[in-house]
A and B are shown apart, each in its own frame.
Chain A
Amino acid sequence: MKKNKFLKDNIGFLFILPWLIGFLVFKLYPFASSLFYSFTDYHLFKGMSGFTIQNYIDVFAKPLERKSLIVTFKYAFMTVPLKLVAALFIAYILNFKIKGVNFFRTAYYIPSILGGSVAIAVLWKALFKDDGLINGLFGIFGAGPIHFLSDPNWALFIICLLRVWQFGSAMVIFLAALKGVSVDLYEAASIDGAGKWRQFFSITVPLITPVIFYNLITQLVQAFQEFNGPFIITAGGPRNATTLMSLLVYNNAFKNYKMGKASAQAWVLFVILMIFTAISFWSQNHWVYYADEDGR
């Protein structure tokens, strides 16, 4: 009887055992060991000779690492707002009863599942190279060429644009939220004389702030971890203008085999993400509306 009760109480652990083993072996162990390695000079082929905090100092002191940090911040602060605005704007339009709306919803969603594929990288290069399609269009009007891929000031923007273009997932989530806003509210606002813009900013946006908050967090995490775009399209160039931290971590770990250095950079990235996530959670008290209990 006792045995049966024990089994009944703990059978759940058995069910999650595969996940638990995966988590311990493939997540927690590397997570913990990378923290250990980050305080060492561990080189994949030369081994480890001692403990040091130099890896962490280098992240902020060495020009390449510092530049990479700045580039990562620039990338995140350009991409996240642009993507959220684009996703919300398109979701808002696709929430209207338009002919062929399902087609448009699918069409806008497709880019987000293409991700950082090689095909997309080739497309992006073909669009933005010096004699690419975009410059060809500019040429018709006697403008350009703009050196999108070779000018350090433009290259990062082009990488951002790739991610912004892939706003489909965020758009679908916004669309679901917009569907949840009661039509009665809009009718009442119309009767009171509120126009579409007023309705959008005074009804729609406040009511979907939890979803905006959710998208903000996920997009922020995604932006700080961005790897595919700069890896495939620019390989971090020109002049390291698109060397995001994730790319630097990869280069150090798997090109130069400096695992200690790469681990420290990864941990700095992790801490930065934690701080931004914490700030976002703290800030939600001031702008996110939850329709429960006291309304917040």
Chain B
Amino acid sequence: MKKKVMAVLLTSVMAASVLAGCGGSSAPAAAPAAPAAEEKKEEAPAAEAQAEAPAAEAPEGADYEECTLKFDWWGGDSRHEATQKAVEAFMAKYPGINVEVNFGAWTDWETARALEYQSGTGSDVTQIGSNWIPDYDGDGTVFLDLNTVSDTLDLTQFEAGDLEKCLDPVGQQAGVPVSMTGRTFYWNKTTFDKAGIDVPKTVDDLIAAGKTFQEKLGDEYYPLTLGEYDRALFMSFYIGAKKGVPIIAEDGTLNVTKEDLVDALNFIQSLEDNHVIPGIAQLAGDGNVTTNENPKFIDGRYAGVFEWDSAPLKYTSNLAEGQELVVGDELDFGGGVYGNSAKVSMAFAICATTQHPHEAAMLVNYLLNDPEGIKIMASERGVPASKIGYDTLNDAGMIDPMIAKAHEAVYATNPMFFSPKFDNGELKGDGAAYIDAFSGLSYGDYSVEDAADVLFDAYSNVCG
């Protein structure tokens, strides 16, 4: 008997362990909102759910059909909650349209969606990255030309220039921008105060801060942390400041020579040499975690991040008690010259295979242009690109002050716009050029010239 009890107990432990390790998650669309204080901004595991549709039929005379739409997006918990609420409100406003939602964290999200697009099984409405249009819709057959539903989706709410950035290679309106974004700096003011210096405003300030941190706070403290892709972006800022053009122009032309890259890589390497940023090996030794999850960022030892203007909240929410993160200005490369760039943060698209283009367009319009949807979505996807979206949130004071300030910092310096090709998988993907070049340089496997060769070859290949 004793043995049997033991066997049952051990079996239970084993089963529980397996479940604990592999636990998936599925969240109902109508999950109750977490209290604000407990709200977590980190990315949540993927979940598929069918929104709790009110059992309703389309009213007589409605200008839409009863149907079921699929809608997917990536993001963190707070974005999931806001979007699910908006979807519920949409279904309540348009009875008869049922929306099934599929959402998750960024990791491997693109891979899964790309395979769906390729196989023609993409969701009716899908959130896309700025490089997805040229990468997956080269012939204009994956995403619907939104001009065909412009009677439903009000495209006049968007700047013509922003809309142009979502054209596919054959000139169709493949997406509508949700928000525009650029990178800026966020500084841990508590650590800078501890070091007795102000947060940097120029690149020279930043480099000087490296030495000050080392001398006053110790080897473990750095004013900034940059992973491989961050370094690529900061390098593009450097080149932008030096040459006045982005690395890849909006039309896909490569604007740099190998010598330009050597110069820029020397600059990036000088940051590491001057104790401004930790080496890639050190970041790997921290456990290969994202910066907002890195204990050295959380407790202020890494005192600066270089992040999109739409994403500061996932950092502030993770900071240890007593640490204060502030939005910094774009860094002046000398004489008031800035080299920052901006791009479409993300867009909504409708898959060309949808059976319900009108209803899908209604959903997109509700999320971006309907004051009710706009208020529910708030600034979860950054500062809205839609004019009515911006005005509605601004008038209601609903744009997160930190996001608003970061957005202002980006646009205060007239950013250039770079091509989505800058984020092409052959440059940005796992084991691709950015990781190879910057980690190779940091580890000492590559000279600056070797790393420049890797980048130049990859850029040339992508720009074709």
Contact = CB atoms under 8 A, between A and B. Distances in A.
Contacts of A120: 21
From B7, B18, B283, B285, name the one whose CB has the most chain A CB atoms within 10 angstroms: B285
Given A45-B135, A119-B21, A130-B285, A239 B430 contact: no
Contacts of A239: 439-440, 443, 445
B10 interface: yes
B136 A147 contact: no
Contact of B426 (A102, A126, A243, A256): A256
Contacts of A130: 282, 285-286
A257 B285 contact: no
A237 B281 CA distance: 10
A74 interface: no
Q: Is the interface of B mostly helix, strand, loop or mixed?
A: helix
A238 B138 contact: no
B280 A238 contact: yes
A171 interface: no
A149 B294 CA distance: 15
Interface in B405-454: 425-426, 429-432, 435, 439-440, 443, 445
B13 A110 contact: yes
Contacts of A102: 3, 6-7, 10
Interface stretch (B110-118, B171-179, B209-217, B346-354): B110-118
A260 interface: no
B281 A151 contact: yes
Nearest to A148: B285
A118 interface: yes
Contacts of B335: none
Contacts of A126: 287
B21 A236 contact: no
Interface residues of A, number: 44
A109 B13 CA distance: 12
Contact of B20 (A119, A125, A148, A248): A119
B430 A125 contact: no
B150 interface: no
A268 B135 CA distance: 29
A160 to B, nearest CB: 18
A187 B94 CA distance: 83
B285 A44 contact: no
Contacts of A147: 281, 284-285
Q: Is the interface of A mostly helix, strand, loop or mixed?
A: loop
B17 interface: yes
Contacts, number: 106
B21 A115 contact: yes
Nearest to A147: B285
Contact of A117 (B3, B22, B287): B22
B289 interface: yes
A118 B284 contact: no
A104 B18 CA distance: 18
Contacts of B432: 255-256
B431 A64 contact: yes
A42 to B, nearest CB: 12
Contacts of A243: 431
B26 interface: no
Interface in A114-163: 114-115, 117-120, 125-126, 129-132, 145, 147-152
B14 interface: yes
Interface in A55-86: 64
B147 interface: no
B320 to A, nearest CB: 15
A129 B440 contact: no
Given A110-B17, A119-B20, A257-B425, A240 B285 contact: no
Contact of A236 (B17, B115, B431): B431
Contacts of A114: 17-18, 21
Nearest to B281: A150
B14 A118 contact: no
B288 interface: yes
A238 B3 contact: no
A256 B429 contact: yes
Interface string B7-29: 10010011001101110000000
A103 B3 CA distance: 10
A57 B421 CA distance: 28
B12 to A, nearest CB: 11
Interface in A211-246: 233-240, 243
From B7, B14, B118, B432, name the one whose CB has the most chain A CB atoms within 10 angstroms: B14
Given A102-B3, A110-B13, A237-B288, A251 B431 contact: yes
Interface of A: 44-46, 64, 102-103, 106, 109-110, 113-115, 117-120, 125-126, 129-132, 145, 147-152, 233-240, 243, 248, 251, 254-257
28 contacts: A46-B138, A103-B10, A106-B13, A110-B14, A114-B18, A117-B21, A118-B21, A126-B287, A130-B285, A130-B286, A149-B284, A149-B285, A149-B287, A149-B288, A150-B282, A234-B284, A236-B430, A237-B284, A238-B281, A239-B445, A243-B431, A254-B115, A255-B429, A255-B430, A255-B431, A256-B429, A257-B114, A257-B425
